[in-house]
Structure 1
């Protein structure tokens, strides 16, 4: 396929490179010249603008920071993109923005799906991402082979916006569980319990979860976790704060009594105001120690 890829940063760049490896003709654009040059070195054809990249595309993929960026990009390129082009937004944005973007594309005579990802930069590079897709059945079927070239799992979650809904619900679980695991380790420290002992018990008992067994917030028990590498992300605290903020917006809009989710959003928002923004989200344990 001829694919336009708009947004070639830490995630988009390696994702576009994997599409080139899979044999697709990828035309890319990013406002950052350095990102565009890195993508070009991996075989992406550098375009002069987003509209230039999308002009002859069968599929347009966007990986952008916010819903406003996605809506503005679609408003720019949809009028000049050939009829019935498929748009796939892989950004993590507000559910309402995702649905508005899908409507704007449909109004311009195109098709749209939201396909946010989980797996971070490592997953983007290794093509092991999980895609959570909101789309009509036919559009999901059309996009699935392309998404599979960038990921290990592609899940059809429902209609437009459902992918974003799945992403923020998943990350609300993840953020809250990382806080709980971190609080337990700090409590264990105060009680004289070694990190390894707590890990050995909880990882084989009812406290077992991804935040503990894969992304353990203390160095030692899981050698590959960011805690053993100076909390280098991984999944940065700023991104977790953003995702939990989106979840909190949805919680309030729909009247859900999600007290833990809302508190997790507050904790990560405060964490990301300082050094935590550029650290792995598991470094929240250091903030918990400092406040204890």
Structure 2
């Protein structure tokens, strides 16, 4: 299977690196020539444009910053899609948009899968990230061997669009977690608590979360470099709000979270790291939320393991006759 990969940013570059590390025949493309050069130096191929990448490969993966970017790339690739070609959309995108593009791919005999990832850049770097995959079961079976090279836990979520729906939900939860961690840390500092002790109390208690155990460390170090920016998180939580609006769910916290992140973006910059949001409370209180002993960057210290499919509780596993 020859694979093309478009989008070598913070997440995409690490996913493409997993393909190279696992001896997959991969060609890459990005708007930044220096990123492409790093991959070709490691043995990857490249292409003149997205159309050529689709023409010359069996599967093309996109990992891009916005639905508009994905649509633009797909408009280039579409004329080269023929029966048997597969498009894996690993961007975090709008479920209605991925369904629209998937229909265009299907009209030309190709197959689309929305398969966003979750778990942070540090896990994308080691192949231990989680992957959601939205597509028909037969298609999922066809791409599962590739997905298990890219990530550890792979969840088949249902038809195209379901993976993107779940992905923006998880990013909404992560953002809510981040804001509550910020409020907890600042309040404990104001109350005179040691911040390293506070971190550990949160970690071993019912108040812990994946976000706390990762991003709180970067906040306390002062680097606050989670490799994810405010413009991207606003895009994702905005997509979650759109899903709620489409389905007439009167959310209360979501609009507040969006307003807080918009204020952070206005104060600290469109491309400020999401963890910089704690500065709003630091500025308001005059407190510095720092502690010794915490890392400047996240490193996944779990060994890379072969990926596998995970199943929802109570869901019978497919039999061989059903395509497994």
- TM-score when scaled to structure 2? 0.81
- Measure, in 2, the Cα distance between the counterparts of 1:177 and 1:258: 16
- Measure, in 2, the Cα distance between the counterparts of 1:184 and 1:14: 32
| Deviation of the 1:269 alpha carbon | 2.3
Instruction: Report the RMSD for the aligned CA atoms in angstroms.
Output: 1.9
| Deviation of the 1:211 alpha carbon | 2.3
- Measure, in 2, the Cα distance between the counterparts of 1:80 and 1:87: 12
Residue 263 of structure 1: aligned partner: 256
* Offset from partner CA, 1:158-206 (integer Å, 9 cap, x none): 1111111111111111111111121122122222222234333333332
* Offset from partner CA, 1:86-131 (integer Å, 9 cap, x none): 1100011111111111111111211111011123332232222211
Residue 64 of structure 1: aligned partner: 64
Contact map agreement 1:122 1:234 (CA 8 A) in 2: no
Contact map agreement 1:8 1:39 (CA 8 A) in 2: no
Contact map agreement 2:62 2:88 (CA 8 A) in 1: yes
Residue 107 of structure 1: aligned partner: 107
Contact map agreement 2:186 2:282 (CA 8 A) in 1: yes
Residue 88 of structure 1: aligned partner: 88
Secondary structure in 2 aligned to 1:273? helix
1:211-222 aligned within 5 A: 211-216=211-216, 222=217
| Deviation of the 1:243 alpha carbon | 1.3
1:97-176 aligned within 5 A: 97-176=97-176
Residue 254 of structure 1: aligned partner: 247
Distance 1:227 1:96, change over 3 A: farther
* Offset from partner CA, 1:221-275 (integer Å, 9 cap, x none): x4xx354152122433332222112212222222212211221122112223343
**1:272 matches 2:258:** no
Residue 233 of structure 1: aligned partner: 226
Contact map agreement 2:67 2:94 (CA 8 A) in 1: yes
Matched pairs, number: 285
Residue 245 of structure 1: aligned partner: 238
Structure 1 unpaired stretches of 5+: 217-221
Contact map agreement 2:215 2:224 (CA 8 A) in 1: no
Distance 1:210 1:106, change over 3 A: same
Distance 1:254 1:74, change over 3 A: same
Contact map agreement 2:51 2:79 (CA 8 A) in 1: no
Residue 219 of structure 1: aligned partner: none
Distance 1:279 1:231, change over 3 A: farther
Contact map agreement 2:244 2:250 (CA 8 A) in 1: yes
Secondary structure in 1 aligned to 2:207? coil
- Measure, in 2, the Cα distance between the counterparts of 1:129 and 1:144: 14
- Measure, in 1, the Cα distance between the counterparts of 2:14 and 2:42: 9
**1:177 matches 2:183:** no
Greater relative CO, 1 or 2 (CA 8 Å, sep 6+): 2
Residue 78 of structure 2: aligned partner: 78
Task: Select between 7-16 and 152-161 the one with higher mean Cα deviation.
Answer: 7-16
Residue 283 of structure 2: aligned partner: 290
Secondary structure in 2 aligned to 1:132? strand
